[in-house]
């Protein structure tokens, strides 16, 4: 029975492999040509009769392999593994070693080591830094290493849609409070899937996606309206009940998120109309609510007024006027409260003070835009109230005031010119 060859056995070795680096490291490893030829295409080529230097004296007795300093030890490891009949994944120990050994195995043409390293990388978890390194390394190695990237491959549109809809149904539901973190994560990822940044959105919404989103949002809005209506009946007592307060706060957080989703999917109409219809009751319960509730109400209202102000959702003049009259005083009062708060250790105060300045600026712009779309007499009424108010600093309707003054002053002349044009057209 033939005794298996052992690496480093000088008595039976017929070849020396010198692993060298440009930093002058030099390791002599006593090997056996039959093992190297069987386990490595690189050595099989080097030791074949077709290799250009095969006739040079001692060229078959000593093979020099130059490598990077960082890969030196892994070349030694690869040579040792050539002598193992059964390489185990446990021989690798970590992702860093697997990548380094994989690079060496590809260079040396060792299918067994390549397969084991790829299998290890495919199976174990990666840290973020390791994932980036894998993405830099694996694609250069061709089809033999692609299995390691299975978890990073793009998925079908159908699979994305199924995940999106499942997450959407959960994110618009009302689960137990112990699942709030999971629900928040679902909402965050749904918004991310629809966001266009350095990459295109993960999901391209079709009519089916939009229809199901409308249905989910409709259910959420219906539950919110029911809660608001129940609170209006006895606002002074109900709003301070812990359960109802937490429910109201949760619904408002959901609606703030929903406003982003329906905007990204270009289906804000139902959301806006429902908020418009229940605005009076929302203000009633919010006026005596905790500051954190008022903050969430302002956030949602900002999205609604912004949509109306841009003309994305078209409302008749009577509803646009109603929205200004309902929300302008409320927003003004909340802003006054925010401006009066000095930051301290009170959680509610911190929440109010941290409201993004962009929200207030966006609200101000929305009010100006909506006011300027109203009939001139309605504009006059709103501007009169604004100019007489002590809190004239916010919202600043100066732009609307200036435009109204100009339009009012030139109105007769403009309309007269228009009448003259119409009369001339009629004569023709």
Predicted pLDDT at 426 = 47
The burial class, CB within 10 Å (0-12 / 13-18 / 19+), for 121 is buried
Q: Cα 62 from chain centroid?
A: 56
CA angle 122, 124, 130 (to 5 degrees): 90
Query: Residue 105 and residue 120: Cα distance in Å, rounded?
Result: 14
What mean pLDDT comes out for the span 2-27?
Answer: 90
pTM: 0.80
- pLDDT value of residue 59: 57
Residue 29's beta-bridge partner residues?
17
Residue 217 has what pLDDT? 97
Distances, alpha carbon 351 to alpha carbons 9, 250, 344, 363, in Å: 73, 15, 11, 18
Averaged pLDDT of the chain? 88
Residue 56 confidence (pLDDT) above 60 = no
pLDDT at 81 over 80: yes
Alpha helices in 53-179 (DSSP H): 72-81, 95-108, 111-123, 128-137, 157-171
Give me the mean pLDDT over the 4-12 stretch. 90
- The pLDDT, as a whole number, for residue 342 is 61
The 8-class DSSP code of residue 85 comes to S
Give buried/exposed letters for 254-271 (b at 16+ CB in 10 A, else e). Answer: bbbbbbebbbbbebbebb
| Rounded distance between C-alpha atoms, residue 378 and residue 45, angstroms | 90
Share of the chain above pLDDT 90, in %: 70
89 has pLDDT over 50: yes
CA contacts within 13 A on the Cβ side of 309: 19
Prior bond of 199 cis (ω within 30°): no
Rounded to the nearest angstrom, the gap between the alpha carbon of residue 100 and the centroid of all alpha carbons in its chain is: 32
pLDDT score of 1: 53
- How many whole angstroms separate alpha carbon 311 and alpha carbon 8? 81
DSSP letter for 65, please. Answer: E
Least confident of 54-58, 109-113, 357-361: 54-58
Kindly report, residue by residue over 245-295, the tens digit of the pLDDT. 888 999 999 999 999 999 999 999 999 999 999 999 999 999 888 888 999
pLDDT digits (tens, 9 = 90+) for 298-326: 999 999 999 999 999 999 999 999 999 99
Q: What is the pLDDT of residues 184-223, one digit of tens each?
A: 999 999 999 999 888 899 998 899 999 999 999 999 999 9
In the structure, what pLDDT confidence band is assigned to residue 178 with cuts at 50, 70 and 90? confident
Residue 159: its pLDDT value, please? 95
Q: Give dist(CA 378, CA 404) in Å, integer.
A: 11
């Amino acid at each position: 029975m033939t005794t298996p060859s052992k690496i480093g056995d000088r008595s039976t070795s017929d070849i020396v492999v010198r692993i060298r680096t440009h930093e002058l490291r030099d390791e002599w490893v006593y090997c056996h040509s039959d093992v190297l030829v069987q386990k490595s295409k690189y050595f099989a080529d080097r030791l074949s009769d077709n290799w250009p230097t095969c006739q040079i004296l001692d060229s078959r007795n000593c093979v020099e392999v130059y490598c990077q300093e960082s890969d030196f030890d892994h070349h030694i490891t690869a040579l040792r593994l050539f002598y193992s009949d059964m390489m185990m994944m446990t021989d690798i120990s970590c992702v860093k070693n697997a990548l380094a050994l994989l690079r060496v195995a590809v260079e040396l043409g060792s299918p067994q080591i390549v397969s084991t390293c790829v299998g290890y990388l495919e199976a174990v978890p990666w840290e973020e830094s390791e994932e980036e390194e894998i993405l830099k390394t694996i694609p250069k190695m061709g089809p033999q290493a692609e299995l390691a990237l299975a978890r990073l491959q793009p998925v079908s549109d159908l699979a994305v849609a199924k995940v999106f809809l499942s997450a959407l149904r959960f994110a618009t539901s009302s689960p137990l409070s112990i699942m709030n973190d999971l629900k928040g994560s679902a909402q965050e990822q749904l918004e991310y899937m629809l966001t266009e940044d350095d990459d295109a959105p993960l999901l391209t919404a079709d009519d089916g996606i939009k229809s199901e989103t409308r249905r989910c949002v409709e259910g959420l809005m219906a539950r919110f309206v029911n809660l608001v209506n129940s609170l209006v009946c006895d606002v002074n007592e109900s709003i301070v009940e812990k359960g109802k307060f937490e429910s109201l706060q949760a619904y408002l957080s959901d609606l703030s998120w929903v406003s982003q989703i329906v905007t990204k999917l270009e289906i804000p109409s139902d959301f806006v109309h429902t908020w418009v219809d229940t605005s009076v009751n929302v203000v009633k319960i919010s006026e005596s609510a905790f500051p954190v509730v008022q903050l969430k109400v302002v956030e949602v209202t900002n999205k609604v007024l912004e949509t109306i102000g841009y003309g994305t959702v078209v409302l008749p003049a009577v509803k646009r006027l109603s929205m200004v009259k309902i929300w302008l005083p409320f927003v003004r009062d909340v802003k006054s409260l925010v401006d009066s708060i000095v930051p301290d250790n009170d959680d509610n105060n911190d929440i109010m003070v941290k409201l993004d300045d962009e929200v207030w600026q966006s609200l101000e712009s929305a009010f100006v835009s909506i006011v300027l779309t109203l009939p001139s007499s309605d504009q006059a009424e709103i501007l009169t109230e604004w100019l007489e108010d002590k809190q004239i600093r916010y919202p600043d309707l100066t732009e609307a005031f200036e435009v109204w003054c100009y339009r009012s002053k030139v109105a007769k002349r403009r309309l007269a010119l228009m009448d003259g044009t119409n009369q001339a057209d009629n004569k023709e």
